[in-house]
Amino acid sequence: MSSPFLDYVEEQMLLRRYRPNTVKTYQHWIKYYIVFNNKRHPKQLGDDDVERFLTYLSVEKGVAPRTQALVLNALSFLYKEILDKPLGLQLQFQQSKANRKLPTVLLPNEILDLLSCLKPPYLTMAQLMYGSGLRKSEVIRLRVKDIDFDYAGIEVWDAKGGKHRRVTLARELFPILENHINFSIELLKQDLNNSEFRGVSMPFGLSKKYPRAPTDPNWQYLFPSSRLSFDKVAKELKRHHIHPSALRKAITTARHCAQIEKSVTCHTLRHSFATHLLQRGADIRTIQAQLGHTDVRTTQIYTHVLQMGADGVTSPLSLLSGQPDKH
């Protein structure tokens, strides 16, 4: 049974243009917080209860620092935006200790094996995550206009932290991406025959500024969903992008197919992108820019492999052919 209160939280977050996965995550932790406090309503709770919950997550559950910070963000949103009762600025709780593991990185031949077990559109999405260092959320939200064939690049908009960056694009993917673009445009033509269809969701308030953009071919998702869906915020019938869970499942299935013993996720391809660039001589600052890291120290986790200075960026996807077969 759904909770009217959590449904209200979801509605308010969607109105504020939070991403669906963020909404789902915040709902999860707010519900956990309520259950932890014997199902008392959050308006009956306060700073002390939040401190106890955050300490419990650190001491008893051993959550990672990033998870604890995410929970604090969720509860801060709850009290400030929903209950109009902001939390204190000096909360006292046991902070989780960093225990960062080195990222899992695949060898080039393992990348080839994994890709050989994927079919479009998931194959292309995986090639972009490895070839351009994109996050899962970034690749599924790509639009037709984001692909720059002239300068072999991809425009990544509103990425983690609301940042924008430009990344390299393997020229080997040009004809494949052109096919995806043509498919997306043909799908749009079919959708326009539906009188209830209202195009794609637009970021922030751009649909008001550019009312024709939702049905403009350039704004269509590069990897559209196979079916139309009802937008909860706009209350309109639209075509969304492929669901992230579908891509995640495809990668997991491919990992088993390729008989790779390592733990492989979508992010593994991004880790492999960064590590393989380092191995081929790319500068750490260049890789930082490609990944969109604010602090170079985040990027330096990949320096466990040999690094040499070099100018320019060549996508590692372009260099897969002719790799020695070694595990």
Q: Do 219 and 145 contact (CB within 8 A), yes or no?
A: yes
Sign of CA dihedral 202, 205, 206, 210: positive
Q: Which of 95-104, 239-248, 283-292, 306-315 has the lowest mean pLDDT?
A: 306-315
- CA distance from start to end of the chain: 49
Task: Please determine, for residue 310, whether its predicted confidence score (pLDDT) is greater than 50.
Answer: no
Using DSSP bridges, classify how beta strands 165-168 and 229-231 pair: parallel, antiparallel or unpaired.
unpaired
Task: Please determine, for residue 233, whether its predicted confidence score (pLDDT) is greater than 80.
Answer: no
Distances (CA, A) of 125 to 28, 77, 130, 181, 318: 28, 33, 9, 13, 15
Per-residue pLDDT band at 322 (split at 50, 70, 90):
low
b/e code 278-296 from CB counts within 10 Å (16+ = b): bbeebbbebbbbbbbbeee
Q: What is the pTM of this model?
A: 0.77
Q: Do 192 and 215 contact (CB within 8 A), yes or no?
A: yes
Task: Please determine, for residue 101, whether its predicted confidence score (pLDDT) is greater than 80.
Answer: no
Q: Do 156 and 169 contact (CB within 8 A), yes or no?
A: no
| C-alpha to C-alpha distance for 186 and 199, rounded to whole angstroms | 13
Strand partners, 155: 166
Q: What is the pLDDT of residue 308?
A: 37
Active site residues: 135, 160, 267, 270, 293, 302
Task: Please determine, for residue 315, whether its predicted confidence score (pLDDT) is greater than 50.
Answer: yes
Task: Please determine, for residue 307, whether its predicted confidence score (pLDDT) is greater than 50.
Answer: no
Q: Enumerate residues 6+ apart whose C-beta is below 8 A from 87.
A: 46, 47, 50, 75, 76, 79, 80
Q: Enumerate residues 6+ apart whose C-beta is below 8 A from 155.
A: 145, 146, 148, 164, 166
Per-residue pLDDT band at 49 (split at 50, 70, 90):
very high
Q: Enumerate residues 6+ apart whose C-beta is below 8 A from 59.
A: 94
**For 179-230, how does the pLDDT look when each residue is reduced to its tens digit (9 = 90+)?**
999 999 999 999 999 999 999 988 776 777 888 999 999 999 999 999 999 8
What ranges make up the beta strands (E) of 93-164? 147-148, 153-156
Distances (CA, A) of 121 to 88, 125, 126, 149, 253: 47, 6, 9, 19, 14
Return the DSSP state at 166: E
Among residues 263, 273, 265, 275, the alpha carbon closest in space to that of 301 is found at: 275
- Using the structure block, give the residue that is written with the tokens 């466990």: 304
Q: Enumerate residues 6+ apart whose C-beta is below 8 A from 216.
A: 199, 210
Strand partners, 230: 237
Element (DSSP H or E) covering residue 321: none
Q: Which of 36-40, 247-251, 265-269, 280-284 has the lowest mean pLDDT?
A: 280-284
Q: What is the pLDDT of residue 314?
A: 67
Return the DSSP state at 144: G
Q: Do 113 and 256 contact (CB within 8 A), yes or no?
A: no
Q: Do 156 and 167 contact (CB within 8 A), yes or no?
A: yes
